[in-house]
Amino acid sequence: MELVHPHICIASILGRLDYWVDVPAVSYACSGVQTVPDVLPIRIEFENSEFFKADKLMSPAAPYPAETLLETATVEGFRKFVEIVSPGRVRVHFDLPACAWWFLSRHEESRIEKRDSHGRFLCSYSTLPPELYDQPLVTRWFERVEDLVRKISGLPVRAPMVGTAPIAVTHDVDLLRKFPLFSPRCLVRSYREGRLGECLKVWFRRQKDPYDALDALTHLHDETGIPGTWFLMGGGTHPSDADYTLSDHRLAPLGTRLDCDTFGLHGSYDSYLDAKKIYHEAVSLAEALKQRVKPIIRQHYLRLDIPNTWLAQSEAGFTVDASGGFADRCGFRHGWTGAFRPYSPLTGRELPMTEIPLNAMDMTLSRYERLDPESAYKRMQTLHANSLSRHGGVFTILWHNTLNDRVVHGDMYDVFDSFVRNTSARFVKLDTI
């Protein structure tokens, strides 16, 4: 019996659960789902926290305190909330549907107006403590329910998970020049940073620009056989957008990866709410790469306004988004490991999209979490271990070529190299998840 699908949809959860008017519980009827002789139809009743009442929905708060959310994700903790009412009937004193909804829909983001200078909702703005996002809590809750169903059905409970989750390696190509040629602004900045000599060497071809490191990344993929997913910009006029065109010779190293890797659109800075802009950028990218582009997108600066960005992407013809990570903290923004189907509270319907959340990004580790290379490596190992799931878990990482600027980032660039070389995990491309 499979209660959890890798591409879980919020609407499908609530569509099979009915809140009772006169009983403070939700009924989940599981009869007929397992063709095993002498297995009784079962009924699981979840506590009704009244989260979906209009007054409760106006609040950004989660249905339960952080301590309860963490406790119910563990095997021993979940058992404390289970009451056997009768054979085949179980009551769980925890409103799992409401909690799953809260995480997967990012409910609080529609109730909290605060955003950073890039219009992003940061983990630090959440009503929950940041450490709760280090675990895919929704995934764990559904694993606990599966264990419960198996136990009361007389089926063997699954053994503890072993092994490692697959890893999806991704690269956003934002900038290719640290020192734009003969730029007065670059000259002044380099002088202030004490890097004027380096700038002049790059300008007069005595030294390679530190951002011009795509050849090093592609060599790593060639040497190890690791597949990758690359996101390239197809336009954009904002100062934060790409400093290259799709005919730039510095993109040449990617030519060796066109037939073995996945290429998607890196939506420009101002495109995250503009379906037409996304569409035209996608057309430009497809023409430049001779149509070898998948309908998969990640927004620049992780500018994801839920659900409006998903709606714009879907209107532009995209079926997969990979922007679902916090810019300021690595982990599980949606409480889920692997892919899931987004839901729009604006339309009340499932979107024709798949979200593959981002779990770890180099700039997050270096700039926001302020970790040294050794600590960053250990944090990635921990998050990778937490990504393991019975049903389609995956650990998605993002590494930029700009980390090759060792004056700014030190040895952080080497963290990626060490991590992918020293793991026994299987590597996957985003479009195969």
What residue type is assigned to position 290 of the chain? Answer: K
* Cα–Cα distance list, 134 to 55, 103, 123, 351, 389 (Å): 30, 13, 11, 26, 14
The pair of structure tokens assigned to 251 is 């993109």
Residue carrying structure tokens 């506590």: 47
Total-model pTM: 0.89
Strands 82-86 and 89-92: antiparallel
Residue carrying structure tokens 């709606």: 311
The pair of structure tokens assigned to 290 is 């001779």
What residue type is assigned to position 270 of the chain? Answer: D
Q: How would you write the pLDDT of the chain (433 residues) with one tens digit per residue?
A: 233 333 344 444 444 443 333 333 343 433 333 334 444 577 888 988 989 888 888 999 999 999 999 999 999 999 999 998 888 888 999 999 999 999 999 999 999 999 999 999 999 999 999 999 999 999 999 999 988 888 888 888 788 788 899 999 999 999 999 999 999 999 999 999 999 999 999 999 999 999 999 999 999 999 999 999 999 999 999 999 999 999 999 999 999 898 899 999 999 999 999 999 999 999 999 999 988 899 999 999 999 999 999 999 999 999 999 999 999 999 999 999 999 998 887 777 888 899 999 999 999 999 999 999 999 999 999 999 999 998 889 999 999 999 999 999 999 999 999 999 999 999 999 999 8
Report whether the peptide linkage leading into residue 307 is cis, meaning its omega lies within 30 degrees of zero.
Answer: yes
Alpha carbons 196 and 203: distance in angstroms, whole number: 11
Q: How far is CA 152 from the centre of its chain?
A: 34
Among 374, 134, 169, 123, CA closest to 261: 169
Contact 267, 300 (CB under 8 A): yes
Could you give all domains of the chain from N- to C-terminal order, each with its CATH number? 8-153 (no CATH), 167-176+211-432 (3.20.20.370), 178-207 (no CATH)
